[in-house]
Amino acid sequence: MSAAQARDAIAAARVLVIKVGSSLVTAGGAGLDAAAIDRWAAQIAQLVARGYRCVLVSSGAIAEGMQRLGWKTRPQAIHQLQAAAAVGQMGLAQVYESSFAQHGRHTAQVLLTHADLADRERYLNARSTLRTLLDMGVVPVINENDTVVTDEIRFGDNDTLGALVTNLIEADCLIILTDQAGVYSADPRKDPAATLIEQANAGDPWLETIAGGTGSAIAKGGMLTKIIAARRAAGSGAHTVIASGHEPDVLLRILAGEVLGTALNASTATLTARKQWLADHLQVRGNLHLDSGAALALREGGRSLLPVGVKTVSGEFERGAVVSCIDALGREIARGLVNYSASEARRIAGHPSSAIASILGYIDDLELIHRDNMVLTDPAA
């Protein structure tokens, strides 16, 4: 993909994850920078009004807590970091809510851990919640739940979280705002000959070799974590832009196609990457045996799998597990992420979707497997 094509793809993005770093949110550690936060809120509010779906991943809870508690350096003890996060989260949420309210938008605080995204059922619940908030025009503000975990504080960072959220909601683009103009050929603080890299392929190994360490005493991550985050985001087909949060109207200009920062483009389309992930990288937990009509609908029509087309269910699995779709001859024709557990699937199998609520007493989805979460493994069978 050429530089022009990469910028065109980013300009065409409609689902965005925007990550802002601690040094930006807290003005280098001197407390929350309400004016800067308001500038981002104004831009994001404009984007939402234009039809964009925006999720904001914000650092700053620990840094704000440190400022409130009068700590000058980041502590090493886990319980002190958790205490700082608990104190700082209050101020962070308050400032974001106030800033977005001035621009007519509600925010929602969402605290996640890596464990939430590793567990399939919690992953699906988080995705459903975020999608619902986006449908309502609410801007989710996401941070790691630092008060209840230890490994995320010790090893995690919000660049990684931004990439995981990008994968979670299948965003088109991850925008990482930092205190640098983008990715340089060398550390510009040490090498005056360093040049800004305007475009590269996410995941190219040479990018990691030129990335340095953390840039400040407040920020947890450095350019290396941003490079790795871009590689993660590319796994689901999302492009990444790493740019300076100090640039005026930086978000609006990036999405207008202006060359700002470094564009790291994904080489695989979103749908293709997701289908490949489903087909090759997840263990199958059970089988749904289909009637001929359902098998034909999947094979030729690209339809979702409805419970009415399922004859029997084998295996034990929970909601969000990967299951195989088996035709009348015993051949796997597809696999995908199931929306109901095995016991629930057995109860609603053979029934129309309109009967799910009366059978189970509730309804999560109309489909057993949505077509977006399914890949054909033997379409010619």
CB-CB neighbours of 353 under 10 Å: 16
DSSP H or E run through 84: helix 78-101
Distance from C-alpha of 359 to C-alpha of 365, rounded to nearest angstrom: 13
- So what's the pLDDT on residue 268? 63
What's the whole-number mean pLDDT along residues 95-124? 84
- So what's the pLDDT on residue 59? 81
DSSP 303: P
Long-range contacts of 31-38 (CB under 8 A, 24+ apart): 31/64, 31/67, 31/68, 32/60, 32/64, 32/67, 32/91, 32/92, 32/95, 34/95, 34/98, 34/99, 36/245, 37/95, 37/96, 37/99, 38/99, 38/102
**Which of 3.40.50.970, 2.30.130.10, 1.10.10.10, 2.40.50.140 is the CATH number of 282-376?**
2.30.130.10
Full-prediction pTM beyond 0.75? no
- Provide Rg for the chain, Cα atoms: 23
Q: Which two tokens stand for residue 64?
A: 């704000």
Q: By the 8 A CB rule, do 167 and 233 touch?
A: yes
DSSP 47: H
pLDDT, mean over the chain = 85
Q: What is the pLDDT of residues 175-185, one digit of tens each?
A: 999 988 888 88
- So what's the pLDDT on residue 149? 62
- So what's the pLDDT on residue 193? 83
Residue 101 has pLDDT above 60, yes or no: yes
What is the architecture, at CATH level 2, of domain 3-272?
3-Layer(aba) Sandwich (3.40)
More confidently predicted of 186 and 346 = 346
Closest CA to 342 of 322, 362, 370: 322
Confidence of residue 122 (pLDDT cuts 50, 70, 90): confident
Domain layout of the chain by residue ranges: 3-272, 282-376
Fold agreement (3-272, 282-376): no
Q: Which two tokens stand for residue 274?
A: 């997701």
Q: What are the Cα distances from residue 251, in Å, to 80, 118, 143, 271?
A: 35, 30, 20, 25
Confidence of residue 369 (pLDDT cuts 50, 70, 90): very high
- So what's the pLDDT on residue 31? 74
Q: Specify the 3-state DSSP secondary structure of 141.
A: strand
Distance from C-alpha of 152 to C-alpha of 18, rounded to nearest angstrom: 20
DSSP H or E run through 374: strand 374-376
Q: What is the pLDDT of residues 33-85, one digit of tens each?
A: 889 999 999 999 999 999 999 999 998 888 888 888 888 888 888 888 888 88
Q: By the 8 A CB rule, do 120 and 277 touch?
A: no
Q: By the 8 A CB rule, do 375 and 331 touch?
A: no
